[in-house]
Amino acid sequence: MRIALLGGTGDIGRGLALRWAYDTDHEVVIGSRDPERAREKADEYETELDRRGVDAAVAGRENAAAVDGADVVVLAVPAYHLVETVETVAGELDRGTVLVSPAVGMKRDADGVHYNPPAAGSVTRLAADAAPDGVPVVGAFHNLAADRLANLDAALDVDTLVVGDDADAVERVTALAEGIEGLRALSAGPIANAPEVEALTPLLLNVAANNRDHHRVGVRFR
Protein backbone atom coordinates (compact mmCIF):
# COMPACT_ATOMS: atom_id res chain seq x y z
CA MET A 1 0.00 0.00 0.00
CA ARG A 2 1.22 3.49 -0.79
CA ILE A 3 0.78 6.01 2.03
CA ALA A 4 1.23 9.73 1.41
CA LEU A 5 1.82 11.86 4.50
CA LEU A 6 1.04 15.48 3.68
CA GLY A 7 2.80 17.55 6.29
CA GLY A 8 5.06 14.55 6.73
CA THR A 9 7.88 16.87 7.78
CA GLY A 10 6.08 17.72 11.05
CA ASP A 11 5.90 15.89 14.36
CA ILE A 12 2.98 13.51 13.81
CA GLY A 13 4.00 12.97 10.19
CA ARG A 14 7.51 12.02 11.25
CA GLY A 15 6.26 9.52 13.80
CA LEU A 16 3.82 7.80 11.45
CA ALA A 17 6.36 7.71 8.61
CA LEU A 18 9.04 6.12 10.77
CA ARG A 19 6.68 3.59 12.34
CA TRP A 20 5.17 2.46 9.03
CA ALA A 21 8.56 2.22 7.38
CA TYR A 22 9.98 0.35 10.39
CA ASP A 23 7.09 -2.02 11.15
CA THR A 24 5.55 -2.64 7.71
CA ASP A 25 6.42 -2.95 4.05
CA HIS A 26 4.09 -0.14 2.96
CA GLU A 27 5.47 2.47 0.56
CA VAL A 28 5.85 5.77 2.43
CA VAL A 29 5.87 9.13 0.66
CA ILE A 30 6.49 12.40 2.48
CA GLY A 31 4.58 15.41 1.15
CA SER A 32 5.24 19.09 1.75
CA ARG A 33 4.45 22.43 0.11
CA ASP A 34 8.25 22.65 -0.27
CA PRO A 35 9.53 19.64 -2.26
CA GLU A 36 13.13 20.23 -1.19
CA ARG A 37 12.13 20.08 2.47
CA ALA A 38 10.18 16.90 1.77
CA ARG A 39 13.25 15.29 0.21
CA GLU A 40 15.48 16.41 3.08
CA LYS A 41 13.13 14.91 5.66
CA ALA A 42 12.72 11.70 3.65
CA ASP A 43 16.53 11.33 3.59
CA GLU A 44 16.62 12.00 7.33
CA TYR A 45 14.05 9.27 7.97
CA GLU A 46 15.92 6.83 5.73
CA THR A 47 19.12 7.52 7.67
CA GLU A 48 17.37 6.82 10.96
CA LEU A 49 15.97 3.56 9.62
CA ASP A 50 19.30 2.51 8.10
CA ARG A 51 20.96 3.10 11.47
CA ARG A 52 18.56 0.50 12.84
CA GLY A 53 19.26 -1.99 10.09
CA VAL A 54 16.06 -1.34 8.14
CA ASP A 55 16.45 -0.94 4.38
CA ALA A 56 13.37 1.14 3.57
CA ALA A 57 12.93 3.73 0.85
CA VAL A 58 11.09 6.90 1.89
CA ALA A 59 10.31 9.35 -0.91
CA GLY A 60 9.89 13.10 -0.55
CA ARG A 61 7.73 15.13 -2.95
CA GLU A 62 5.58 18.22 -3.26
CA ASN A 63 2.09 17.53 -1.87
CA ALA A 64 0.26 17.01 -5.16
CA ALA A 65 2.98 14.70 -6.48
CA ALA A 66 3.00 12.76 -3.21
CA VAL A 67 -0.74 12.09 -3.50
CA ASP A 68 -0.52 10.74 -7.06
CA GLY A 69 -1.19 6.99 -6.89
CA ALA A 70 -1.54 6.89 -3.09
CA ASP A 71 -4.02 4.47 -1.51
CA VAL A 72 -4.18 6.43 1.74
CA VAL A 73 -3.42 10.11 2.27
CA VAL A 74 -2.79 11.32 5.82
CA LEU A 75 -3.46 15.01 6.36
CA ALA A 76 -0.72 15.53 8.95
CA VAL A 77 -1.14 19.29 8.84
CA PRO A 78 -2.46 21.81 11.39
CA ALA A 79 -6.23 22.19 11.42
CA TYR A 80 -6.03 25.69 9.97
CA HIS A 81 -4.18 24.40 6.87
CA LEU A 82 -6.39 21.37 6.29
CA VAL A 83 -8.97 22.72 3.82
CA GLU A 84 -6.31 24.51 1.78
CA THR A 85 -4.26 21.30 1.64
CA VAL A 86 -7.21 19.20 0.48
CA GLU A 87 -8.13 21.74 -2.16
CA THR A 88 -4.54 21.84 -3.44
CA VAL A 89 -4.38 18.08 -4.03
CA ALA A 90 -8.04 17.40 -4.91
CA GLY A 91 -7.30 16.93 -8.60
CA GLU A 92 -4.78 14.16 -7.83
CA LEU A 93 -7.07 12.13 -5.56
CA ASP A 94 -8.55 8.98 -7.04
CA ARG A 95 -12.06 7.84 -6.15
CA GLY A 96 -11.68 5.48 -3.23
CA THR A 97 -8.42 6.98 -2.00
CA VAL A 98 -8.88 7.32 1.75
CA LEU A 99 -8.14 10.65 3.41
CA VAL A 100 -7.14 10.40 7.07
CA SER A 101 -7.36 13.38 9.42
CA PRO A 102 -5.43 13.35 12.71
CA ALA A 103 -5.75 17.12 13.20
CA VAL A 104 -7.46 18.74 16.19
CA GLY A 105 -8.58 22.32 16.67
CA MET A 106 -7.06 23.70 19.87
CA LYS A 107 -6.27 26.97 21.58
CA ARG A 108 -3.92 27.70 24.45
CA ASP A 109 -4.16 30.14 27.36
CA ALA A 110 -2.63 30.52 30.81
CA ASP A 111 -4.68 27.60 32.13
CA GLY A 112 -3.69 25.11 29.46
CA VAL A 113 -4.88 23.71 26.14
CA HIS A 114 -8.55 23.69 25.18
CA TYR A 115 -10.59 22.09 22.43
CA ASN A 116 -11.47 24.63 19.74
CA PRO A 117 -13.56 22.91 17.06
CA PRO A 118 -14.32 24.58 13.73
CA ALA A 119 -17.82 25.64 12.77
CA ALA A 120 -18.29 22.25 11.08
CA GLY A 121 -18.18 20.64 14.55
CA SER A 122 -14.92 18.74 14.17
CA VAL A 123 -11.80 18.82 12.01
CA THR A 124 -12.70 15.38 10.68
CA ARG A 125 -16.03 16.74 9.47
CA LEU A 126 -14.21 19.73 7.99
CA ALA A 127 -12.02 17.33 6.01
CA ALA A 128 -15.04 15.33 4.86
CA ASP A 129 -16.78 18.49 3.65
CA ALA A 130 -13.66 19.55 1.73
CA ALA A 131 -12.98 16.15 0.15
CA PRO A 132 -14.01 15.51 -3.46
CA ASP A 133 -17.00 13.24 -4.10
CA GLY A 134 -16.08 9.59 -3.83
CA VAL A 135 -13.10 10.19 -1.53
CA PRO A 136 -13.93 8.87 1.96
CA VAL A 137 -12.54 10.51 5.08
CA VAL A 138 -11.56 8.78 8.30
CA GLY A 139 -10.47 10.41 11.55
CA ALA A 140 -7.62 8.62 13.35
CA PHE A 141 -4.30 9.11 15.20
CA HIS A 142 -5.57 12.19 17.08
CA ASN A 143 -4.49 11.18 20.55
CA LEU A 144 -0.94 9.91 20.00
CA ALA A 145 2.06 11.57 21.63
CA ALA A 146 4.15 12.62 18.63
CA ASP A 147 7.54 12.34 20.32
CA ARG A 148 6.74 8.86 21.65
CA LEU A 149 5.53 7.79 18.20
CA ALA A 150 8.74 9.01 16.57
CA ASN A 151 10.99 7.30 19.13
CA LEU A 152 11.44 3.82 17.71
CA ASP A 153 12.93 2.67 21.01
CA ALA A 154 9.68 3.49 22.83
CA ALA A 155 6.98 0.84 23.18
CA LEU A 156 3.58 2.27 22.33
CA ASP A 157 0.91 0.09 24.00
CA VAL A 158 -1.77 2.67 23.22
CA ASP A 159 -5.06 2.88 21.35
CA THR A 160 -6.16 5.13 18.54
CA LEU A 161 -9.84 5.83 18.03
CA VAL A 162 -11.15 5.66 14.47
CA VAL A 163 -14.24 7.46 13.16
CA GLY A 164 -15.71 7.31 9.69
CA ASP A 165 -18.89 6.93 7.68
CA ASP A 166 -17.48 4.52 5.07
CA ALA A 167 -17.06 1.02 6.51
CA ASP A 168 -14.45 -0.08 3.95
CA ALA A 169 -12.36 3.03 4.57
CA VAL A 170 -12.53 2.54 8.34
CA GLU A 171 -11.45 -1.09 7.90
CA ARG A 172 -8.50 -0.03 5.74
CA VAL A 173 -7.30 2.59 8.22
CA THR A 174 -7.80 0.19 11.14
CA ALA A 175 -5.55 -2.38 9.46
CA LEU A 176 -3.02 0.32 8.63
CA ALA A 177 -2.95 1.51 12.25
CA GLU A 178 -2.57 -1.98 13.65
CA GLY A 179 0.40 -2.60 11.38
CA ILE A 180 2.27 -0.37 13.83
CA GLU A 181 3.54 -2.49 16.69
CA GLY A 182 1.86 -1.65 19.99
CA LEU A 183 -0.95 0.39 18.44
CA ARG A 184 -4.53 -0.85 18.64
CA ALA A 185 -7.35 0.75 16.64
CA LEU A 186 -10.85 0.92 18.09
CA SER A 187 -13.91 2.12 16.23
CA ALA A 188 -15.65 5.10 17.82
CA GLY A 189 -18.45 5.16 15.25
CA PRO A 190 -19.29 7.65 12.50
CA ILE A 191 -17.82 11.09 11.89
CA ALA A 192 -20.63 12.55 14.00
CA ASN A 193 -18.66 11.25 17.00
CA ALA A 194 -15.42 12.96 16.01
CA PRO A 195 -15.81 15.89 18.45
CA GLU A 196 -15.67 13.52 21.42
CA VAL A 197 -12.56 11.83 20.02
CA GLU A 198 -10.75 15.03 19.10
CA ALA A 199 -11.50 16.61 22.47
CA LEU A 200 -9.36 13.96 24.16
CA THR A 201 -6.20 15.48 22.69
CA PRO A 202 -6.16 18.74 24.71
CA LEU A 203 -7.05 16.71 27.80
CA LEU A 204 -3.99 14.50 27.29
CA LEU A 205 -1.77 17.52 26.66
CA ASN A 206 -2.93 19.07 29.93
CA VAL A 207 -2.24 15.83 31.80
CA ALA A 208 1.22 15.67 30.22
CA ALA A 209 1.98 19.29 31.12
CA ASN A 210 0.92 18.91 34.75
CA ASN A 211 2.42 15.52 35.62
CA ARG A 212 6.16 15.01 35.34
CA ASP A 213 5.95 11.26 34.74
CA HIS A 214 3.24 11.49 32.06
CA HIS A 215 4.80 13.68 29.36
CA ARG A 216 4.17 10.93 26.80
CA VAL A 217 0.73 9.99 28.02
CA GLY A 218 -1.64 8.03 25.77
CA VAL A 219 -4.96 6.23 26.04
CA ARG A 220 -5.54 2.50 26.49
CA PHE A 221 -9.09 1.17 26.87
CA ARG A 222 -9.45 -1.97 29.00
Mind spelling out the 3-state secondary structure of 51-100? HCCCCCCEEEEEHHHHHCCCCEEEECCCHHHHHHHHHHHHHHCCCCCEEE
Topology of domain 2-214 in CATH is Rossmann fold (3.40.50)
Question: How far apart, in whole angstroms, are the C-alpha atoms of residue 159 and residue 185?
Answer: 6
Secondary structure of residue 38 in the 3-state scheme: helix
126-180 pLDDT tens trace: 999 999 999 999 999 999 999 999 999 999 999 999 999 999 999 999 999 999 9
pTM recorded for the entire structure: 0.95
- Residue 39, Cβ neighbours under 10 Å: how many? 17
- Residue 217's pLDDT band, with cuts at 50, 70 and 90, is confident
Domain boundaries, the chain: 2-214
Whether pLDDT at 214 is above 80:
no
- Helical (H) or strand (E) element with 170: helix 167-178
Please count the residues of the chain: 222
**pLDDT > 70 in the chain, percent:** 100
